[in-house]
Amino acid sequence: MASRRTGAAGRWAVVGVGVAVLLALPSVVGALPASDAATSAPELRRQALASTGVAFTGHAQAAGGLALPVADQLTGVADLLSDRTTMRAWYRGPADWRVDVVTPTGETGVHADGTGTWTWEYEDDVATRSEPSPLALPAAPDLLPSTLGRRLLSEATDGELSRLGAERVAGRDALGLRLVPAEEAASVARVDVWVDADSGVPLRVQVVGEDAGAGPALDTGFLDFELGTPAADVVAFDVPPGADVRAGEDARLLQAADRAARDGDRVRLPDELAGLPRRTIEGAPRGVGVYGRGVTLLAVSPLPWRVAGPLLDALRASPDAVADELGVRIAAGPLGLMLLRGPDGPVLAVGTVDLDALAGAATELTGGDR
């Protein structure tokens, strides 16, 4: 919106004073004191989780502070978690929304309907159809504050929650809610969610790792937010004539894990790992194990050497890498990543757990000595 207002000022200089007032208005409104409410932490969480049906239009920005030394397989994820992502959102409901990712060179729109998503790359004239997947690498729409906030609060217990004060976010009163995970293995120190006082929609989310002095590992928030149902034709997507239509593919790492599992039992996946219980995820490749809950999760997957080799080189190149008889592991903020030596080949372990938990998981999986 700032760029639009700047352009308007250039075209209509005669109303420059009025435009200057409009430009200053968002910061003035944001500086107004926020009104707090006597809402308990559990009740505020309930309101946030119940806001999935609240329609809105918004403009958000996410800033990732994670420096992932990864190979080609995870370049997109690394960029998403380390760069600044600008998004425009039109949300009619959980299965009826549109999120445009805006970059200096153009924009990419993701349109959801009841059976999947269309991703429209305008500059390349490519439309990609993706079906729902039980496991997927994060994408830009996952960083929208409303989506991420509900996701991170979804499995929190009352004992992990406390109230913060109130702030102004996108010109609205937002009530603060802090989540401190209880798991010993957790590498996330806290998650702060600012919830719209009127609608319950999360307006801002900050994820802070153990090194709080380094700032948030992820900070996403709305810059503009307006309640109301967007027009259906704004959200809907029809493939333009002549567009290159492609089918979405599962993440290459998940495909590789499924193939590795079919080749043999690379590693035994226990019912508990690093003190975290195993989750049941219907439809997930049988070679992938996911452990934990809420903001403390650990995923384990066997990898073929053609995938693991470049990843191992990237991990070793990190100045903070820890290499020992168990494998190589790094911490990028609250995200831990390890390539361990399984009994029949390499195994990837990744999640929001600390390096000690990764080493412990490797010991349990391989029977090695710590």
DSSP 174-241: EEEEEE----TTB-EEEEEEEEETTT--EEEEEEEES-GGG--SEEEEEEEEEESPPPHHHH---PPT
Residue 11 has pLDDT above 50, yes or no: no
Residues constituting the chain? 370
- Structure confidence at residue 250 (pLDDT): 54
Which range is most confident: 35-39, 243-247, 256-260? 243-247
pLDDT level of residue 295 (50, 70, 90 thresholds)? very high
Q: Do residues 224 and 1 touch, judged by C-beta distance below 8 A?
A: yes
Which among 164, 241, 237, 232 is positioned nearest to 195, based on CA atoms? Answer: 164
Residue ranges of domains in the chain: 1-31, 33-246, 252-366
- Provide the mean pLDDT of the chain: 82
Rounded CA separation 55/68 (Å)? 35
Rounded CA separation 315/82 (Å)? 16
Residue 81 has pLDDT above 70, yes or no: no
Q: What CATH number labels 33-246?
A: 2.50.20.10
What Cα–Cα distance (Å) separates residue 204 from each residue in 27, 59, 252?
Answer: 16, 12, 31
Residue 10 has pLDDT above 50, yes or no: no
pLDDT tens digits, 32-65? 566 667 899 999 999 999 999 999 999 999 987 6
- Structure confidence at residue 80 (pLDDT): 61
Which among 140, 193, 157, 152 is positioned nearest to 296, based on CA atoms? Answer: 152
DSSP state of 368: -
In terms of phi and psi (left: phi > 0; alpha: psi -120 to 50; beta: otherwise), the region of 287 is alpha
Lowest-pLDDT range of 7-11, 135-139, 354-358: 7-11
> What is the rounded average pLDDT of the residues 231-249?
91
Residue 325 has pLDDT above 50, yes or no: yes
Which range is most confident: 10-19, 56-65, 310-319? 56-65
What Cα–Cα distance (Å) separates residue 217 from each residue in 5, 82, 322, 333?
Answer: 31, 9, 21, 6
Lowest-pLDDT range of 53-57, 238-242, 265-269: 265-269
- Structure confidence at residue 268 (pLDDT): 81
Burial of 99 (0-12, 13-18, 19+ CB in 10 A): buried
pLDDT tens digits, 152-163? 999 999 999 999
What Cα–Cα distance (Å) separates residue 29 from each residue in 21, 23, 169, 334?
Answer: 12, 11, 9, 34
> What is the rounded average pLDDT of the residues 314-325?
88
- Structure confidence at residue 9 (pLDDT): 36
Question: Would you say the CATH fold of 252-366 matches that of 33-246?
Answer: no
Residue 271 has pLDDT above 70, yes or no: yes
Q: Do residues 79 and 89 touch, judged by C-beta distance below 8 A?
A: no
Residue 220 has pLDDT above 80, yes or no: yes
Which among 267, 335, 329, 266 is positioned nearest to 297, based on CA atoms? Answer: 335
Which among 281, 287, 299 is positioned nearest to 335, based on CA atoms? Answer: 299
Rounded CA separation 53/150 (Å)? 12
pLDDT level of residue 17 (50, 70, 90 thresholds)? very low
Q: What CATH number labels 252-366?
A: 3.30.200
pLDDT tens digits, 117-151? 999 998 889 999 988 777 666 788 889 999 999 99
| 21 token code pair | 């007032």
Rounded CA separation 241/332 (Å)? 43
- Structure confidence at residue 364 (pLDDT): 92
Rounded CA separation 370/365 (Å)? 12
Residue 298 has pLDDT above 80, yes or no: yes
Place of tokens 């918004």: 58
Rounded CA separation 239/237 (Å)? 6
**H-state helical runs in the chain:** 2-11, 16-31, 41-49, 75-82, 145-153, 232-235, 252-263, 305-316, 355-366
What's this model's pTM, rounded to 2 decimal places?
0.83
More reliable by pLDDT, 94 or 282: 94
> What is the rounded average pLDDT of the residues 15-29?
42
pLDDT level of residue 189 (50, 70, 90 thresholds)? very high
- Structure confidence at residue 335 (pLDDT): 85
Share of the chain above pLDDT 70, in %: 78
Residue 187 has pLDDT above 50, yes or no: yes
- Structure confidence at residue 33 (pLDDT): 61
More reliable by pLDDT, 21 or 160: 160
pLDDT level of residue 66 (50, 70, 90 thresholds)? low
Which among 98, 102, 99 is positioned nearest to 83, based on CA atoms? Answer: 102
